[in-house]
Amino acid sequence: MFGFILRRVGMLIPTFIGVTLVAFFFIRLLPGDPILLLAGERGISAERYAELQHAFGFDQPVLIQYFHYLTGLFHGDFGMSMVTRRPVWDEFFALFPATLELSFVAIVIAVVIGIPAGVIAAVKRGSIFDYSVMTSALVGYSMPIFWWALLAIIVFSGWLEWTPVSGRISVMYFFEPVTGFMLIDSLLSDQAGAFESAFSHLVLPSIVLATIPMAVIARQTRSAMLEVLGEDYVRTARAKGLRRVRVVGMHALRNALIPVVTTIGLQVGVLMAGAILTETIFSWPGIGKWMVDSISRRDYQVVQGGLLMIAMMVMLVNLVVDLLYGLINPRIRHR
Partner 1 sequence: MSDTTQLIENVSRQSTKAVLKEFWFYFSENRGAVLGLFVFLTLVLLALFAPYITPHDATMQYRDALLVPPAWAEGGNSSYLLGTDAVGRDILSRLVIGSRFSLFVGIVVVVIALVGGIILGLVAGYYGGTVDTIVMRIMDIILAFPSLLLALVMVALLGPGLLNAMIAIAIVYQPHFVRLTRAAVMAERDREYVVAARVSGASSLRLMFLTILPNCTAPLIVQATLSFSSAILDIAALGFLGMGAQPPTPEWGTMLAEAREFILRAWWVVTFPGVSILVTVLAINLIGDGLRDALDPKLKRS
Partner 2 sequence: MKLLTKALAATALAAVLSTTAQAKTLVYCSEGSPEGFTPALYTAGTTFDASSHTIYNKLVEFERGSTNVVPGLAESWDVSEDGLEYTFHLRKGVKFHTTKDFTPSRDFNADDVIFSFMRQKDPNHPYNKVSGGTYEYFGGMSMDSLIKDIVKVDDNTVKFVLNQVEAPFIANMAMDFASIASAEYAAQIEKTGNLDMFDQNPVGTGPFQLVAYQKDAVIRYKAFADYWGGKAAIDDLIFAITPDASVRYQKMKAGECDVMPYPNPADIKAMDEDPNINLMQQEGLNVGYLAYNNQKDKFKDVRVRKALNMAINKQAILDAVFQGAGKAAKNPIPPTMWSYNDKVQDDPYDPEAAKKLLEEAGVSDMKTNIWAMPVQRPYNPNARRMAELIQADWKAIGVDAEIVSYEWGEYLKRSSAGEHDTVLLGWTGDNGDPDNFMYVLLGCDAVESGANRAKWCNEEFNDLLVKAKQTTDIAERTKLYEEAQVVFKREAPWATIAHSVVFMPVSTKVKNYKIDPFGGHIFYGVDIDK
117 closest CA partner among 260, 242, 247:
260
- Single residue of 262, 269, 321, 333 touching partner 1 by CB under 8 A: 269
Interacting residues with partner 2 between 219 and 258 (CB under 8 A): none
Report CA-CA distances (Å) from 154 to 65, 189, 274: 48, 32, 19
Q: Per rule CB under 8 A, is residue 180 in the interface with partner 2?
A: no
- For the bound state, the minimum distance from the C-beta of residue 226 to partner 1, rounded and expressed in Å, comes to 6
Q: Which residues contact 1 (CB under 8 A, 6 or more apart)?
A: 326, 327, 333
Q: Binders of partner 2: how many residues, by CB under 8 A?
A: 56
Report CA-CA distances (Å) from 335 to 3, 8, 13, 316, 332: 12, 11, 19, 21, 5
Chosen from partner 1, partner 2, none, partner binding at 324 (C-beta under 5 to 8 Å by type): none
- Single residue of 14, 45, 190, 244 touching partner 2 by CB under 8 A: 45
Q: Per rule CB under 8 A, is residue 310 in the interface with partner 1?
A: yes
Spatial contact of 149 and 281, defined as CB atoms under 8 Å apart? yes
Q: Per rule CB under 8 A, is residue 295 in the interface with partner 1?
A: yes
115 closest CA partner among 223, 205, 228:
223
Spatial contact of 170 and 197, defined as CB atoms under 8 Å apart? yes
Q: How far apart are CA 45 and CA 62, in angstroms?
A: 24
Q: Per rule CB under 8 A, is residue 100 in the interface with partner 1?
A: no
Provide the residue type at 104 as one letter.
F
* Residue 200 CA neighbour count, 13 Å, CB half: 14
What 8-state DSSP symbol labels residue 332? G
Q: Per rule CB under 8 A, is residue 123 in the interface with partner 1?
A: no
- Single residue of 26, 67, 147, 174 touching partner 2 by CB under 8 A: 174
- For the bound state, the minimum distance from the C-beta of residue 185 to partner 2, rounded and expressed in Å, comes to 12
By CB under 8 A, name the binding residues for partner 2: 31-33, 36-45, 48, 51-52, 55, 82-86, 91, 94-95, 157-158, 161-168, 170-174, 191-193, 195-197, 199-200, 283, 285, 289-290, 293, 296-298
By CB under 8 A, name the binding residues for partner 1: 14-15, 18-19, 22, 26, 29-31, 138-139, 141-144, 146-148, 150-151, 153-154, 158, 223-224, 226-227, 230, 269-270, 272-273, 276-277, 280, 291-292, 295-296, 298, 303, 307, 310-311, 314-315
